Amino acid sequence: MYRGILGITQDSDENDGILEQYEIDEAEDWLVRFRFRHTTCGGSTIANGVTYDDTQFRAAWHPTDFALVELQDNIVNDIYSVGQKVWLGWDRTGNTPSTATCIHHPAGDVMKYTYDGESPSIEINNTHWLVDDWEVGTTQGGSSGSPIFDQNKRVVGQDHMGEGSTDPCNPIKGTYFGRLSLSWIGDSTNNTRLSNWLDPGSTGATTLNSIRQPTPEYSGIGDALCSSNYFSVTNLAPGYSIHHWNGSNVTFPNGNTSNPVLVSPGSQGGAWVQAVINTGAGLYTMPQESFWVGVPDYTQLGIELQNGYLTACDYTSGTAKYLGTAWPEIDAYEWYMPNASNWTIEEEAFSGIDNKYVEIYYWEDPAPSQEDIYIRAHNSCGWSDWKHTIWSVTDNCGGLLMVLSPNPATGETTLTIQSSSKEKKVDINEEWELEVFDQTQALKAKTSKLKGNCTTIQTSNWKDGVYVVRAKIGDKLITGKLVVKH
C-alpha cells in the first residue's frame, strides 16, 4: 500500500480547519495519476500515465496543511511501472535545508521543476518553510501538496500556499510549505500525525533515503553469439522471477524458463531474445535484445570505387561497406590483392576497424586490364569468407603520373608531373590547373595558368590530414594524395 502527503483545504463553510466526514469520504474516492509529464525535458509529448483507483484516508493536520492517503492498490509488483517506481525519502529532523527543490503540477499542468539555491526561512509560528524567490521556475495554484526536497533529495514538507498572486499571468514568487518535522507529531493522534504511517515499526529513524525500484537488465548478451552461452536478467526486484524467454534464430536446449538460460545459436544472421518476467501481479515483457549469430556474412560485403574503375596512373579510393543489417559486431576489415605486382595498398589498410577506406594506386607499366580485389570482415566469432570483386583498369591520364615530395609535408611540397614510364620525359607546353581538396572534399587551394611540369604547394598553415591533389592538363585529369603532418 502506498501513501502520499497532500495539501488540504479548509472547509468551505467553516474556518476551524476541521475535516468533515464527507470530505474524508471524497478523498477516499480519488483517482491518483502518475507520470503526467513530458517524455523529454522541454518536449511536447506526454508520457503514458498510470492511474490507480481509490485511496484510504490516514491522517491530516491543519496547522501544517498536510493530508496522508494510502493507495488501495498494491503497486509494488504491478506491470505498468516496472523499474520506474521511486519511494521518496524524508527528513524529520527539522534542520534547515541548504537548497530547495519542488516537483509539482502548476495550474494542473504536466510535471515541472522549480529550484532555489538558498535556504528557506521558517515562518507562520514555525510551522512553514518559506522560499521567498525561486531561482528557477515558480509555483501556482494546483501545485499544492507537492513535496519540497532538501539538498539530500529528501522530503521536508509540502506546498501549502503562495506568497503572492495565483494569477497565471502574474505567478507567485514565493511558496509556503508545511514542515514535515511538525507534521510527524501533528496533534499527537494517529489520524493527525505522520509517525504512525511513515515509521510503522517505530524504529525512531530521523531520515530515510529515497529508494528506486531496480530496473531489470540483460547480462551476458554480446554483439555476436558464436556458440552456446548463458543469458541472464539482473536487477530483478524482490518477488520478480523469469516466466519464460522468447527468441528468434536461437534455441534453448535446457528449456526457456530459467535465469540464467542456456542459448544456442541458429544459422548465420540476425537474432534476438526477450525475457518475460512474472512480477507477482502480471507478466512484464522486456524489450528485445538483438545480436548477430556467427561470423559476418561475406555475401553482404560490398566494395565501391570512386569512379567504378581503377586508374593506371594515379591513386584512387576503394571503400569497403558492410551492406547487410548493421549489427555492431564487426571489429576489423581486411583487404587482399593476389595479383598486386603493379598496385599498392597502404600497409596499414590491410586490417583494422577503420579500414573501410583504403587507397590503391598504380605505379608501373604496363597496366593490367582488370584487377582482383578481396575483402573480408571479422567479429568476435572470427573472420568471414573472402568477398571477391573484379575491377576494370583504365588509363585516362595519357601516361602521366603525379609525384609529391616531400610527402608527408610540413611547410611545403613540390608537385612534379612525370611519365608513368620511367624511360619517357615529360614536356608540358600548355597551361594547366591545380586544385587541392581537404578531407571533407571542400576546395582548399586552386592555382590556374601553371606552366611546366613542376610547382610548389605551401602547406605551413594547413591542418594535419590527408588532402587530394588534382591536376587538369587539357583533357587529362591526374590525381594524387598529399599527407600534411606538422
**Does the domain at residues 3-211 carry the CATH identifier 1.10.3080.10?**
no
C-alpha closest to that of 135 among 182, 175, 168: 175
C-alpha closest to that of 103 among 136, 133, 58: 136
* pLDDT number for residue 9: 45
Q: Which helix (H) or strand (E) holds 414?
A: strand 412-419
* pLDDT number for residue 228: 97
Q: For the chain, what is the radius of gyration of the CA atoms?
A: 36
Contact 174, 102 (CB under 8 A): no
pTM comes to 0.65
Q: What are the start and end residues of each CATH 2.60.40.1080 domain in the chain?
A: 298-394
Q: What are the start and end residues of each CATH 2.40.10.10 domain in the chain?
A: 3-211
* pLDDT number for residue 440: 78
| Cα of 415 vs its chain's centroid, Å | 47
Task: Extract the residue ranges of the chain whose pLDDT is less than 50.
Answer: 1-3, 7-11, 164-165, 346-353, 355
* pLDDT number for residue 286: 95
* pLDDT number for residue 307: 57
* pLDDT number for residue 486: 86
| Cα of 481 vs its chain's centroid, Å | 37
* pLDDT number for residue 346: 47
**Does the domain at residues 217-293 carry the CATH identifier 1.10.287?**
no
How far is it, in rounded angstroms, from Cα 446 to Cα 286? 58
Render pLDDT for 244-288 as a digit per residue (tens, 0 to 9).
999 999 999 999 999 999 999 999 999 999 999 999 889 999 999
The architecture CATH gives domain 298-394: Sandwich (2.60)
Q: Which CATH number fits domain 400-484: 3.30.70.1560, 2.60.40.1930, 1.10.3210.10, 3.10.20.30?
A: 2.60.40.1930
Instruction: Specify the residue for cell string 509488483.
Output: 77
Residue 298: beta bridge partners?
none
